[in-house]
């Protein structure tokens, strides 16, 4: 039997667990404020001016505009990338000779940071959205192709045999067996790729365009060391990245992919 005491202690434990992230956040803010008070001549503003900076951006209409601009680039670059990467990855994993032909090339491109492509993307697309979208495309394409390819290669052959036994055509086999069998791993790759895309858009905007959260950060510094706006930009980037990640985690909750994460959790 559970005693009232046990029940209360369990109640407190759940409470504490829920509150824990907010407590660390509060501690961090307090430490930040303390540091600013102790070093009054530092250029780094405290939490309150940063919040006012966000409000200022919102009032000028820039907050909405910049967030939208960054999301616009990420959306296009990312969607184009995955629309190509998933079929490519399936093909590469499925047809052995395709894999032999392309795998070394992919491995060669993989260690090249997407940022190394900045000069070439500007050369090809000029300054503007296309260059940024191209960079985001590059950043999200490779991880998804490679993950999809590896997932296909490691598929349980029993499932393919079952599919063949029921005489599925090649296309049906790919759609009804291969794709669902690798979907859990693809979803993980999609989440990672979106994270990378969000990292890259900031860098791309610092160089290739004059809007977006990345631009906000360089612009705030150049236009009179507005470190309150720099920090406001950074915090916005963090928050939106977090929201994107939470949204992608939702995909992992789909009932038809649950099986893929059972051992891992």
Partner 1 sequence: MSNQAVQARTTALETRLRVANLNVTFGEGEKAVNVLQNITLEVGAGEFVCLLGPSGCGKSTLLNVLGGFLKPDSGEVVIDGKPVLGPDPRRIFVFQERGVFPWMTVEGNIGFGLFRLTKEEQARRIFYYVNLVGLSGFEKAYPHELSGGMKQRVEVARALAVNPDVLFLDEPFGALDSITRLIMRRELLRIWQKERKTVLFVTHDIDESIQLADRVLVMSTRPATIQRVVDIDIDHPRDISSRHYLDLRDQIFEQIGLAHKV
Provide the binding-site residues for partner 1, judged by CB under 8 A: 156, 158-159, 161-162, 164-167, 172, 176-177, 180-181, 183, 255-260, 262
The least CB distance from residue 174 to partner 1, in Å, is 14
Q: Which is nearer to partner 1, 4 or 263 (CB)?
A: 263
CB of 84 to partner 1, least distance (A): 24
Give the chain as a 3 state SS string.
CCCHHHHHHHHHHHHHHHHHHHHHHHHHHHHHHHHHHHCCCCCCCCHHHHHHHHHHHHHHCHHHHHHHHHHHHHHHHHHHHHHHHHHHHHHHHHCHHHHHHHHHHHHHHCCCCHHHHHHHHHHHHCCCHHHHHHHHHHHHHHHHHHHHHHHHHCCCHHHHHHHHHCCCCHHHHHHHHHHHHHHHHHHHHHHHHHHHHHHHHHHHHHHCCCCCHHHHHHHHHHCCCCHHHHHHHHHHHHHHHHHHHHHHHHHCCCCCCHHHHCCCC
CB of residue 194 to partner 1, shortest distance in Å: 22
> C-beta of 256: minimal distance to partner 1 in Å?
5
Q: Which is nearer to partner 1, 3 or 165 (CB)?
A: 165
CB closer to partner 1 out of 230 and 257: 257
Least separation in angstroms between residue 59's CB and partner 1 is 49
Nearer of residues 21 and 255 to partner 1, judged by Cβ: 255
Question: Which of 85, 187 has the CB closer to partner 1?
Answer: 187
């Amino acid at each position: 039997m559970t005693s009232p005491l046990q029940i209360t202690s369990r109640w407190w434990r759940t409470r504490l667990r829920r509150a824990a992230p907010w407590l660390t956040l509060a501690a961090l803010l307090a430490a930040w404020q303390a540091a600013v008070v102790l070093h009054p001549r530092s250029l780094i503003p405290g939490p309150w001016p940063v919040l006012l900076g966000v409000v200022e951006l919102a009032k000028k209409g820039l907050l909405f505009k910049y967030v939208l601009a960054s999301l616009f680039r990420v959306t296009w670059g990312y969607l184009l990338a995955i629309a190509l990467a998933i079929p490519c990855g399936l093909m590469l994993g499925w047809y052995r000779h395709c894999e032999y032909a392309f795998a070394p090339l992919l491995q060669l491109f993989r260690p090249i940071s997407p940022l190394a492509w900045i000069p070439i993307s500007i050369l090809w697309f000029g300054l503007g959205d296309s260059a940024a979208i191209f960079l985001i495309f590059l950043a999200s394409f490779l991880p998804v192709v490679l993950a999809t390819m590896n997932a296909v290669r490691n598929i349980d052959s029993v499932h393919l045999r079952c599919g063949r036994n029921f005489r599925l055509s090649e296309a049906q086999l790919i759609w009804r067996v291969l794709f669902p069998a690798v979907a859990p791993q693809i979803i993980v790759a999609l989440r990672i790729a979106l994270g990378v895309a969000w990292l890259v858009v900031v860098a791309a905007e610092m160089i290739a365009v004059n809007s977006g959260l990345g631009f906000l950060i360089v612009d705030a510094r150049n236009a009179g060391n507005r470190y309150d706006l720099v920090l406001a930009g950074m915090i916005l980037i963090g928050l939106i990245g977090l929201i994107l990640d939470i949204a992608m985690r939702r995909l992992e909750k789909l009932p038809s992919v649950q099986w893929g994460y059972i051992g891992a959790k």
